[in-house]
Amino acid sequence: MAARPTELKMAAPTVFDGNRSQTNQFISEIVLYLGVNDDVYNSDKKKIGFVLSYMKGGTAGPWKETKLNSLIDAGQWGNFANFLRELKTAFAPADEAGDARSKMKHLKQTGTADEYISEFRILASRSKITEDTSLVEYFMEGLNPKLVEKIFGLEDLPTTIDDWYKYAARLDNQWRRAKAIMARNQGNGNKDRKPIRFKNYAAPRYVAPDPNAMDTSMGRLTQEERNEHMKKGLCFECHKIGHRAIDHKTGTVNQKPRPNQEKPKMLPFGARLRAMIDAQPEGEEKEEGHRMLEDEGF
């Protein structure tokens, strides 16, 4: 006993309510579904019955009832190809070609060139326009302006609509691949980079002095006395003006600054950081440090 054919599970046709702008789409979905499952729907009766089951509401509902009654009265289902022609005639747009040309005029590329070309091809076939010159004009109107500019920059400008399809798709795909590669490289530029770790180096820590821990040989100063010393610029050690308590420890209390002596200038942060990296032993960390300086502009 032969195995019963199995219906392939795929998107079912959209229910048709008689909207004339959806007629061609409905017929296309019907033909696709029945063509894939031709082992199941292998007779005109099954195919016509399948189509009628998806016609509901609107003007399609009454047409379905009328058609079904006529088939019953005739005692036969007739030919499926003739049924489709009758269906298309009954629900065809009043001016299908004019409607297609209007849609072509307002069609714009919002995604890839391949998507735009696919939609444009459908409208072009319905518009009944056969001249390449007219189709190219419609096609250029909706194509991405930068893509149009690239095509006009070619050595040999395409003249047929098929050539315009070909070059538009090729250039758009090339640009999108290049953009993806650049984005990927930029994303990996810092992701794989290891943080710099300098061996045997610890960043100096700043510890704020505790004003309450200022002991002197003459006893601990009160808060009021400390405030007075700071106001007058007095030494916390000997209570004289002109130096600080730390100068007693370094032995520089009686030293006078030389005339016009300038304070040593501190190098910019970038120069200090570069000197720190240059002092590191040769190796991967030193190379990574130099790369970091270049990236940061130091």
Kindly report, residue by residue over 191-246, the tens digit of the pLDDT: 555 655 555 555 555 555 554 444 444 456 777 777 676 767 777 778 787 777 77
> Is residue 136 located within the same domain as residue 65?
no
For residue 66, pLDDT beyond 70: yes
> Is residue 148 located within the same domain as residue 123?
yes
Distance CA 179, CA 186 (A): 11
CA count, 13 A, side-chain hemisphere, 55: 26
**From residue 246, how far is each of 153, 205, 238, 252 by CA, in Å?**
77, 20, 11, 9
- Please indicate, yes or no, if residue 52 is contained in any of the structural domains: yes
**Residue-range definition of the domain harbouring residue 109:** 96-189
For residue 265, pLDDT beyond 70: no
- DSSP conformation letters of the chain: -PPPPPPPP-PPPPPB---GGGHHHHHHHHHHHHHHTTTTS-SHHHHHHHHHHTB-STTHHHHHHHHHHHHHHHTS---HHHHHHHHHHHH--TTHHHHHHHHHHH----S-HHHHHHHHHHHHHHHT---HHHHHHHHHHHS-HHHHHHHHTSSS---SHHHHHHHHHHHHHHHHHHHHHHHHHHHHHHHSPPPP--TT--PPPP----GGG---TT-PPPHHHHHHHHHHTB-TTT--BSS-THHHHHT-SS--PPTTPPPPPPPPHHHHHHHHHHTSPSSHHHHHHHHHHHHHT-
Domain count for the chain, please give it: 3
**From residue 37, how far is each of 45, 84, 113, 184, 244 by CA, in Å?**
15, 17, 32, 43, 99
Distance CA 220, CA 226 (A): 10
Domain final residue, candidates 232, 250, 268: 250
- Please indicate, yes or no, if residue 212 is contained in any of the structural domains: no
Q: What percent of the chain has pLDDT over 70?
A: 69
> Is residue 185 located within the same domain as residue 103?
yes
More confident residue, 294 or 195: 294
Instruction: Output phi, psi for 207, to 5 deg.
Output: -110, 120
Average pLDDT over residues 65-93: 90
- Please indicate, yes or no, if residue 273 is contained in any of the structural domains: no
The mean predicted confidence, pLDDT, of the chain is: 80
Burial class (CB in 10 A: 0-12, 13-18, 19+), 151: middle
> Is residue 83 located within the same domain as residue 106?
no
Q: Residues 149-171: pLDDT tens digits?
A: 999 999 899 999 999 999 999 99
- pLDDT the model gives residue 86: 93
Residues 195, 170 contacting (CB under 8 angstroms)? no
- pLDDT the model gives residue 218: 43
For residue 47, pLDDT beyond 90: yes
Residue with tokens 């070619």, as numbered in its chain: 154
- pTM assigned to the model: 0.44
- pLDDT the model gives residue 35: 92
- Please indicate, yes or no, if residue 194 is contained in any of the structural domains: no
More confident residue, 36 or 226: 36
- Please indicate, yes or no, if residue 72 is contained in any of the structural domains: yes
3-12, 84-93, 145-154, 259-268: lowest mean pLDDT where? 259-268
Residue with tokens 């601990």, as numbered in its chain: 220
- Please indicate, yes or no, if residue 6 is contained in any of the structural domains: no
Residues facing 55 on adjacent strands: 16
Q: State the first-to-last Cα distance of the chain, in angstroms, to the nearest integer.
A: 83
Rounded to a whole number, what is the largest CA-CA distance in the chain?
A: 129
- Please indicate, yes or no, if residue 268 is contained in any of the structural domains: no
> Is residue 237 located within the same domain as residue 224?
yes
**What would you report as the CA-atom Rg of the chain, rounded to the nearest whole angstrom?**
43
Q: Name 56's Cβ contacts closer than 8 Å, sequence gap at least 6.
A: 15, 16, 17, 64
- Please indicate, yes or no, if residue 111 is contained in any of the structural domains: yes
24-33, 66-75, 143-152, 208-217: lowest mean pLDDT where? 208-217
